[in-house]
Structure 1
Amino acid sequence: MTEESLQLVTDDPWLKPYEEDLNKRYDFYQQKYHEIITYHQSLKNYASRDKELGFHFDHEQKGWWYREWAPGAQQLWLIGDFNDWNAVSHPLEKGEEGIWEIFIPNENRQNVLKHGSRVKVKVMANDTYRDRIPAYIERAVQDEQSKDFSGQIWKPLEPFVWRDQSFNPEDIKSPIIYECHLGMAQNKEGIGTYREFADMVLPRIADLGYNCIQLMAIKEHPYYGSFGYHVSNFFAPSSRFGTPEDLKYLVNKAHNNGMAVIMDMVHSHAVKNMAEGLNDFDGSGHQYFHEGGRGYHNGWDSKLFDYSKDEVLRFLLSNARYWIEEFHFDGYRFDGVTSMMYHHHGDHVSFDHYDKYFRDMVDWDAIRYLQLVNVLIHEVKPGAITIAEDMSGMPGISRKVDEGGVGFDYRLGMGIPDYWIKLLKHTQDEDWNIHEIWEVLSNRRWKEKTIAYSESHDQALVGDKTLAFWLMDKEMYWHMSKDDDNIIIDRGMALHKMLRLITATVGGEGYLNFIGNEFGHPEWIDFPRQDNGWSYKYARRQWQLVDSPDLKYQYLNNFDRDMVHMLKDNNVLSSLPAQQLNMDNDNKIIVYERNNLIFIINFNANKSIADYTFRANQPGKFKAALISDAPEYGGHNRVDAETEYHTLKDDKLSVYIPSRTGLVLRKVD
Structure 2
Amino acid sequence: MDKVRYDVSLFTDYDIYLFKQGNHFRLYEKLGAHLMTVNNIQGAFFGVWAPNAANVSVIGDFNGWNTETHPLRMREDGSGIWEGFIPHIKQGTLYKYHIVSKYNHYEVDKGDPYAFYWEVSPKTASIVWDLSYEWKDSAWMTNRYKSNNLQSPFSIYEVHLGSWRRVPEENNRFLTYREMADYLVKYVKDMGFTHVEFMPLMEHPFYGSWGYQTLGYFAPSSRYGTPQDFMYLIDCLHQHGIGVILDWVPSHFPNDEYGLAYFDGTYLYEHAEPKKRFHPEWNSYIFNHGRYEVRAFLISSALFWLEKYHIDGLRVDAVASMLYLDYGRKEGEWVPNEYGGRENLDAICFLQKFNEIVYKNHPDIQTIAEESTAWPMVTRPTYVGGLGFGMKWNMGWMHDTLEYFSKEPIYRKYHHNQLTFSIWYAFSENFLLPLSHDEVVHGKGSLLSKMAGDDWQKFANLRLLFGYMYTHPGKKLLFMGGEFGQWQEWYHEESLHWHLLEYPHHQGIQKWIRDLNHFYRNEPALYELDFQPEGFEWIDFSNWEESIIIFVRRDKSTKDIILVVCNFTPVPRYNYRVGVPEGGFWKEALNSDAQVYGGSGHGNLGGAEAAPIPWHGKNYSLSLTLPPLGVLIFKKEIK
TM-score, normalised to structure 1, is 0.83
- The question of whether the paired residues in 2 share the 8 Å contact of 1:174 and 1:573 is answered with yes
Give the match for residue 565 of structure 1: 518
Give the match for residue 6 of structure 1: none
Give the match for residue 86 of structure 1: 66
Range 167-176 or range 443-452, more displaced = 443-452
Give the match for residue 617 of structure 1: 581
Say whether residues 1:587 and 2:570 are aligned partners.
Answer: no
Say whether residues 1:645 and 2:609 are aligned partners.
Answer: yes
Give the match for residue 227 of structure 2: 244
Following superposition, the deviation at residue 290 of structure 1 comes to: 4.2
Match for residue 94 of structure 2 among 118, 133, 141? 118
- The question of whether the paired residues in 1 share the 8 Å contact of 2:380 and 2:387 is answered with yes
Match for residue 352 of structure 2 among 363, 371, 392? 371
Give the match for residue 210 of structure 1: 193
- Equivalent-residue separation in structure 1 for 2:414 and 2:467 (angstroms): 17
Say whether residues 1:67 and 2:47 are aligned partners.
Answer: yes
1:5-84 matched pairs, under 5 angstroms: 40=18, 46-61=24-39, 62=41, 63-84=43-64
1:351-430 matched pairs, under 5 angstroms: 360-425=341-406, 428-430=409-411
Say whether residues 1:162 and 2:135 are aligned partners.
Answer: yes
- Equivalent-residue separation in structure 2 for 1:219 and 1:554 (angstroms): 34
Q: 1:32-87 deviations in whole A, cap 9, x for unaligned?
A: xxxx999649x997201121211123434443211111111121110001111111
Range 513-522 or range 284-293, more displaced = 284-293
Structure 1: which 5+ residue stretches go unaligned? 1-35, 107-111, 350-354, 473-486, 528-535
SS at match of 2:308: helix
Letter in 2 for 1:636: S
Range 397-406 or range 229-238, more displaced = 397-406
Give the match for residue 624 of structure 2: 655
CA separation of 1:436/1:380 partners in 2, compared to 1, >3 Å: closer, same or farther?
Answer: same
CA separation of 1:44/1:644 partners in 2, compared to 1, >3 Å: closer, same or farther?
Answer: farther
- Equivalent-residue separation in structure 1 for 2:25 and 2:17 (angstroms): 12
- Equivalent-residue separation in structure 1 for 2:187 and 2:55 (angstroms): 52
- Equivalent-residue separation in structure 1 for 2:222 and 2:583 (angstroms): 59
CA separation of 1:226/1:631 partners in 2, compared to 1, >3 Å: closer, same or farther?
Answer: same
- Equivalent-residue separation in structure 2 for 1:667 and 1:247 (angstroms): 44
Match for residue 160 of structure 2 among 181, 185, 189? 181
- Equivalent-residue separation in structure 2 for 1:187 and 1:470 (angstroms): 26
- Equivalent-residue separation in structure 2 for 1:134 and 1:615 (angstroms): 64
Following superposition, the deviation at residue 647 of structure 1 comes to: 3.5
CA separation of 1:654/1:44 partners in 2, compared to 1, >3 Å: closer, same or farther?
Answer: farther
Letter in 2 for 1:150: A
Give the match for residue 530 of structure 1: none
Structure 2: which 5+ residue stretches go unaligned? 1-13, 555-560, 614-618
Give the match for residue 425 of structure 2: 444
Give the match for residue 256 of structure 1: 239
- Equivalent-residue separation in structure 2 for 1:209 and 1:437 (angstroms): 29
Give the match for residue 500 of structure 1: 466
1:519-598 matched pairs, under 5 angstroms: 519-527=484-492, 536=493, 539-546=494-501, 548=502, 550-571=503-524, 572-575=526-529, 576-583=534-541, 584-595=543-554, 596-598=561-563
SS at match of 2:550: strand
- The question of whether the paired residues in 1 share the 8 Å contact of 2:251 and 2:318 is answered with yes
Following superposition, the deviation at residue 363 of structure 1 comes to: 0.9
1:333-352 matched pairs, under 5 angstroms: 333-345=315-327
- Equivalent-residue separation in structure 1 for 2:549 and 2:58 (angstroms): 66
- Equivalent-residue separation in structure 2 for 1:347 and 1:621 (angstroms): 58
CA separation of 1:93/1:38 partners in 2, compared to 1, >3 Å: closer, same or farther?
Answer: closer
Letter in 2 for 1:171: K
CA separation of 1:578/1:514 partners in 2, compared to 1, >3 Å: closer, same or farther?
Answer: same
Letter in 2 for 1:553: H
Following superposition, the deviation at residue 592 of structure 1 comes to: 0.4
Range 654-663 or range 634-643, more displaced = 634-643
Say whether residues 1:221 and 2:200 are aligned partners.
Answer: no
Say whether residues 1:463 and 2:427 are aligned partners.
Answer: no
- Equivalent-residue separation in structure 2 for 1:124 and 1:668 (angstroms): 74
Give the match for residue 153 of structure 1: 128
- Equivalent-residue separation in structure 2 for 1:114 and 1:89 (angstroms): 17
- Equivalent-residue separation in structure 2 for 1:445 and 1:347 (angstroms): 30
CA separation of 1:609/1:427 partners in 2, compared to 1, >3 Å: closer, same or farther?
Answer: closer
- Equivalent-residue separation in structure 1 for 2:576 and 2:357 (angstroms): 52
SS at match of 2:445: coil
Letter in 1 for 2:357: L
- Equivalent-residue separation in structure 2 for 1:318 and 1:449 (angstroms): 26
Following superposition, the deviation at residue 105 of structure 1 comes to: 4.2
Give the match for residue 118 of structure 2: 140
Q: Give me the identity figure in percent.
A: 28
Following superposition, the deviation at residue 566 of structure 1 comes to: 1.6
CA separation of 1:286/1:152 partners in 2, compared to 1, >3 Å: closer, same or farther?
Answer: closer
Letter in 2 for 1:241: Y
Following superposition, the deviation at residue 256 of structure 1 comes to: 1.1
CA separation of 1:469/1:190 partners in 2, compared to 1, >3 Å: closer, same or farther?
Answer: farther
- Equivalent-residue separation in structure 1 for 2:458 and 2:166 (angstroms): 24
- The question of whether the paired residues in 2 share the 8 Å contact of 1:65 and 1:101 is answered with no
Following superposition, the deviation at residue 334 of structure 1 comes to: 0.3
Letter in 2 for 1:545: L
- The question of whether the paired residues in 2 share the 8 Å contact of 1:170 and 1:383 is answered with yes
Following superposition, the deviation at residue 204 of structure 1 comes to: 1.1
- Equivalent-residue separation in structure 2 for 1:44 and 1:570 (angstroms): 45
Give the match for residue 557 of structure 2: none
Pairwise CA RMSD? 2.5
TM-score, normalised to structure 2, is 0.87
- The question of whether the paired residues in 2 share the 8 Å contact of 1:187 and 1:543 is answered with no
- The question of whether the paired residues in 1 share the 8 Å contact of 2:56 and 2:99 is answered with yes
- The question of whether the paired residues in 2 share the 8 Å contact of 1:330 and 1:381 is answered with no
Q: 1:385-434 deviations in whole A, cap 9, x for unaligned?
A: 11100111211001111232100011101122322343345555443446
Q: 1:444-470 deviations in whole A, cap 9, x for unaligned?
A: 2645210013x2100111221111122
- Equivalent-residue separation in structure 2 for 1:647 and 1:160 (angstroms): 62
Following superposition, the deviation at residue 375 of structure 1 comes to: 1.3
- The question of whether the paired residues in 1 share the 8 Å contact of 2:404 and 2:415 is answered with no
SS at match of 2:342: coil
- The question of whether the paired residues in 2 share the 8 Å contact of 1:70 and 1:281 is answered with yes
- Equivalent-residue separation in structure 2 for 1:90 and 1:359 (angstroms): 49
Letter in 2 for 1:566: F
Match for residue 310 of structure 2 among 328, 337, 350? 328
Give the match for residue 5 of structure 1: none
Q: 1:224-278 deviations in whole A, cap 9, x for unaligned?
A: 0001000011111100011111110111111111111010011111111112x20
- Equivalent-residue separation in structure 2 for 1:236 and 1:37 (angstroms): 23
1:506-521 matched pairs, under 5 angstroms: 506=472, 508-521=473-486
Letter in 2 for 1:665: F
SS at match of 2:78: helix
Following superposition, the deviation at residue 500 of structure 1 comes to: 1.5
Letter in 2 for 1:556: I
SS at match of 2:35: strand
- Equivalent-residue separation in structure 1 for 2:73 and 2:282 (angstroms): 36
